[in-house]
Amino acid sequence: MRAFVLAAVVALAAAGCGTGTQQQSTGDWRTDADRGAILRAGARLTPAWVSKTFDPLKSIGGSDIVLDRLIYGTLTGKNAAGQPTPWLVESWSQPEPTVLDLKVRQGVTFHDGSPFTAEAVKAGLDRNRSAGSPYAASLAAISSIELPDANTVRLVTSRPASGALLLTLSGREGLIPGPASLADPDSMATNPIGAGPFQILEWRQGESMKLRAYPGYYDKDQYLVAGIDFVNVNDEVSARNAVLAGDIDVGFVDAEGVPALTANPGTAVAVNQSDAAYYVNINLTTQNPPLADVRVRQAINTAVNRDQIASAVIGAGSAPAWQLFPQGYPGHDPALEKRYAYDPARARQMLADAGYPNGFDMKLYAVSTTPSITRTTEIVAANLNDVGIRTQIVAGTSWVQDYAIDRKGDAAVGTWLPRTDPTLTFQSLFGGVGTLNVGKYSSPELNGIVDQAQGVTDSAAADTLLKQASGYVVDQALEVPIAYMPSLWGYSQKIGLRDGTLRDHGNLGQGLDFTSVYVKR
């Protein structure tokens, strides 16, 4: 979902896969990998980023999914093209538009040796979609769960939603604790029992997390290390310095640190594409009447200098954002690029045509604790002032309290946090009850397109519908996309890349794909 975050975590990453610069010679992991090695990774582990428990219902911190995915596994995965892939569920079928059958992978066990069964999956999903669960909304399409046979979990939905659910189950919603953990939820604070590739050896909250390979994991070649030691890093600069010093093997780093990591013979950098982005969230109500006018919102989009922010603020690997999804991602439409190219004179004329020749007053909110957000907000405000929109910056420390609840701004600058399912992007931002839809804007036309996309399992058909939804958002100028954020990974030359590419799961909290790396012999 889109979220206003204070800083990046180790897991700022490209959705599904790294596709940018990879400074690493390829080898053969079958002979090069030290299968007994422990990989050291930097991560945000403070209480602000990691919850006090690994109970999926309470494990909602920014870094939690990085750890939970390794402990529990997820029912499905997601590839670089944004398509669902098998994991703990080995296959699926759609016998009816409102029925999705999941075949549970055979031979999988939980960490206590108990079998990973369809019954266990049903119990976990029923819990994840229960009232009060943080995932109740994203799993709301499920009306019931049945077990037609010992290896099949049948999801019956209130409307066609199978395509969306397969992607949703590759995220937090697809974390399934073992029966023993469900019987004693408090035990998940220190001893979560999952069916994933790793178990907790040691957990020092705020400092470190040691994971060790689960001996009974079904696929011995999926992960190529004997364990992962996570070390707390406070920010990207700290991660960069830790990689340079040899204190960690890999971590998400700052753009300013790329030259040093590239020049150092013992380290390298992966610059990955990402769909995380800086953007302006607009309160689409009559709080400030001009913003309810699509012509005004189009003028605002035309007034913003995206190229300046991408190059001067975000830096290496960034690119201007003209729509929700970047090139190569489902929902990206090349026809939408540069629809609102930077043109102050045109923006002023657009405002005049909308009935505001003398501009209007506007408050622009931003969380003030992140320098890049502050600088982006300053540039956006200057751009708007330049075309006659008298913009007052309102700085704060809590987007939810200050902007969403107290309405201290008419719009807000923030960063986009990707979701596993792109339809959830539209629902979060523009659905009637979307968490980031501050003004509770709702469009039956847009909602209808998104609902159709959720029911499609064919990737090409889904992409066509997602493009339609993207076009609607751009045409109506429901937000101001600014610039995509790259995923910058610094890593030691001791690290090998399985197929020559360092992959990751998604920017801002989704994490490194540890199947893509190994420690060299």
The mean pLDDT values, 10 residues at a time, for the chain of 521 residues are: 29 36 67 97 87 90 88 93 91 94 97 98 97 88 96 95 90 96 95 97 94 97 97 91 97 90 96 88 90 97 97 89 92 96 98 98 90 92 98 90 90 83 88 80 94 87 95 98 92 95 73 94 93
State whether residue 415 is helix, strand or coil.
Answer: strand
Q: Which of 480, 486, 491, 481 is nearest to 516 (CA)?
A: 491
CA–CA gap between residue 174 and residue 314 (Å, rounded): 33
* Contact of 229 with 39, CB cutoff 8 Å: yes
Handedness of CA 180, 182, 185, 189 (dihedral sign): positive
What is d(CA 62, CA 44) in angstroms, rounded to the nearest whole number? Answer: 8
CA distances from 310 to 162, 342, 379, 482 (A): 36, 13, 11, 8
411 and 291 Cβ atoms separated by less than 8 Å: yes
Structure token pair of residue 194:
């999952």
Q: Return the pLDDT at 279.
A: 96
Two tokens, residue 373: 């957000």
Amino acid at 172: R
Q: What is the pLDDT of residue 137?
A: 83
The separation between CA 138 and the C-alpha centre of its own chain, rounded to angstroms, equals: 14
In this prediction, residue 509 carries a pLDDT of 52
CA distance 464 to 469: 9
Each residue of 53-64: b (16+ CB within 10 Å) or e? bbbbbbbebbbb
Phi, psi (deg, nearest 5) at residue 97: -55, -30
Cα distance between residue 124 and residue 119, in whole Å: 9
The pTM for the full model equals 0.82
The pLDDT value given to residue 299? 98
Q: pLDDT value at position 62?
A: 76
90 phi, psi to nearest 5 deg: -90, -20
Gap between the Cα atoms of 120 and 45, Å rounded: 30
Which pLDDT score is estimated for 354? 98
